[in-house]
Structure 1
Amino acid sequence: MNASGTWKVGALAEASGLTVRTLHHWDTIGLLSPSRRTPGGHREYTEDDLARLYQVLALRSLGLGLETIAACLDGGVDPTRLVRDHLAGVEAALASLTTLRERLQHLDAELTAGRAPSTTDLLDALQATGAAAVPERTQVLRDRLDADQLRLLQDRATAVGPAAHYLLEVEWPELYRRADRLRTAGVPPTDPKVRRLVARMDELSALFSGGDTATSTAVRGAWRDAPQAMSGERPGSTEGWGDLADYVDLAREGAPE
């Protein structure tokens, strides 16, 4: 660190474990640009730049691409939300598996002892598998997509890897929220800010549908008809999202308001 409290690119590269070439590239693509330059044109990174670097590295460690990371950070999405949501999902999955393990062990003990499991034991085990408690979003999609389309979404999500959780649970709903804020502020759907949001929505749709038009259309219908379930928002917070769906369609088509 310099006496002025800034970092030269070489020092920052050494401290972060990155290469100078990587930092130069991230500056070129706008992912991490230094806030200051010396009179001679040399890069100087401030504490705010270091905070952004930490966010970039945290998101990259979860498998997100550089373009996605840039879109998330520039859109004001808090990276801590990603970590907390992901952690909550992992903990919930562990709790469910622990419950299932205990109930299956009980069934195994009963059968080994030559006793027929009770109806209660069987129903408890069935519930623990998740067959009796389907998440609301999953049920909404099952109501609108056929088996092949559901399998396609699952396969694509698996292929995306760890980033799928973030893209589906955090970024996609946030894109809709930001579009709704622009709509309620009176920004026309043809405004470039709105068009960029919708373009990102469509990019995510193509990522998870593999470009299958019928599947993408069905998922859009789910967002239109059941925004609370799809976004995970609290009851009442998605009022007016039917109008938002029309607004997004106008932005997508480039039609006048």
Structure 2
Amino acid sequence: MHRCPMTASASWKVGPLAEASGLTVRTLHHWDAIGLLSPSQRSQGGHREYTEGDLVRLYHVLALRSLGLGLDTIAACLDAGVDPTRLVRDHTAGVEASLAALETLRERLVRLGDALAAGRAPSADALLDALKAIGGTGPEAEHTLRRHLDADQIQALRTRAAALGPAMHYLLEVEWPELYRRADRLRAAGTPPTDRKVRRLVARMDELSVLFTGGDAGISAGVRDAWHDDPAAMAADPGAPADDWRELADYLSRARQSPA
């Protein structure tokens, strides 16, 4: 790790940090501009520098990105707070799964290469094995919607969530509740539901809904019913008054109905 020689404590200017982390200076500048990762101190000469705390946040950003999450989702997860132990475990699991998939692919490609080197045409089964090894699936994940969805619908949700692997936790259990909390802060501040900020939150909520339901109208209705009946539990905030969350649901409904 490149340390900035201008300060007594460990700190990094943007160039050395980009080199050490394998990122570009342009990427770090962009993340600074959008508020995802900003240098938190200045040197005696007035230069902005990254601290060790910033490096921890940088690791969180990169680990979440490795799970396939977008920058908006990562920002929401960091604002909501992520369990660092779980994040390292999920990151490790993702790396191990990638290594296992690559090893399987390597073995099958070696067999294909051996067959070709011996002048034999590879069999259809060998080719299909190699193609299957290029894909991958993640572990299953569960959530609590049993009162509103039947067994087939629950299984459909599980299948879609499983395909997301560890990213499912951060999308469903971290980002989604954080989006609702942000919307509730806007509602409490008196922001009209037609405001662009509210509509943008609603659009992302609806994107996540489609991601997990596959656009199935019945499943989507069940999810909405779950939010209406037990919004505090769905938002991972069991201490929140149910009436407040129902007011938020009405607020979001008005945002969805407002003209573009």
Common fold: TM-score over 0.5:
yes
- Residue 27 of structure 2 corresponds to 25
SS in 2 for 1:79: coil
- Out of 126, 143, 147, the residue aligned to residue 143 of structure 1 is 147
- Out of 49, 56, 80, the residue aligned to residue 77 of structure 1 is 80
Q: Percent identity?
A: 57
Question: TM-score scaled by structure 2?
Answer: 0.62
Structure 1 CA distance for aligned equivalents of residues 244 and 170 of structure 2: 25
Structure 2: 5+ residue runs without aligned partners?
91-141
- Residue 252 of structure 1 corresponds to 256
- Preserved CA contact (<8 Å) 1:59 1:79: no
Q: Which runs of 4+ in 1 moved over 6 A?
A: none
- Out of 151, 158, 162, the residue aligned to residue 158 of structure 1 is 162
SS in 2 for 1:3: coil
Structure 1 CA distance for aligned equivalents of residues 197 and 85 of structure 2: 24
SS in 1 for 2:190: coil
- Out of 205, 208, 228, the residue aligned to residue 209 of structure 2 is 205
- Residue 194 of structure 1 corresponds to 198
- Residue 243 of structure 2 corresponds to 239
Matched, 1:216 2:220: yes
Structure 2 CA distance for aligned equivalents of residues 186 and 250 of structure 1: 14
Deviations 1:65-104 (A, max 9, x none): 334213434xx222347838x89xxxxxxxxxxxxxxxxx
Structure 1 CA distance for aligned equivalents of residues 214 and 85 of structure 2: 24
Change (3 A) 1:229 1:46: closer
- Residue 174 of structure 1 corresponds to 178
SS in 2 for 1:143: coil
SS in 1 for 2:194: coil
Corresponding pairs, count? 196
- Preserved CA contact (<8 Å) 2:183 2:201: yes
- Residue 94 of structure 1 corresponds to none
Change (3 A) 1:247 1:207: same
Cα offset, 1:61, TM superposition: 4.7
Q: What is the one-letter code of the residue matched to 2:71?
A: L
Structure 1: 5+ residue runs without aligned partners?
38-42, 88-134
Deviations 1:38-82 (A, max 9, x none): xxxxx9543265453233124235553334213434xx2223478
Q: What is the one-letter code of the residue matched to 1:83?
A: R
Structure 2 CA distance for aligned equivalents of residues 232 and 71 of structure 1: 14
Question: TM-score scaled by structure 1?
Answer: 0.62
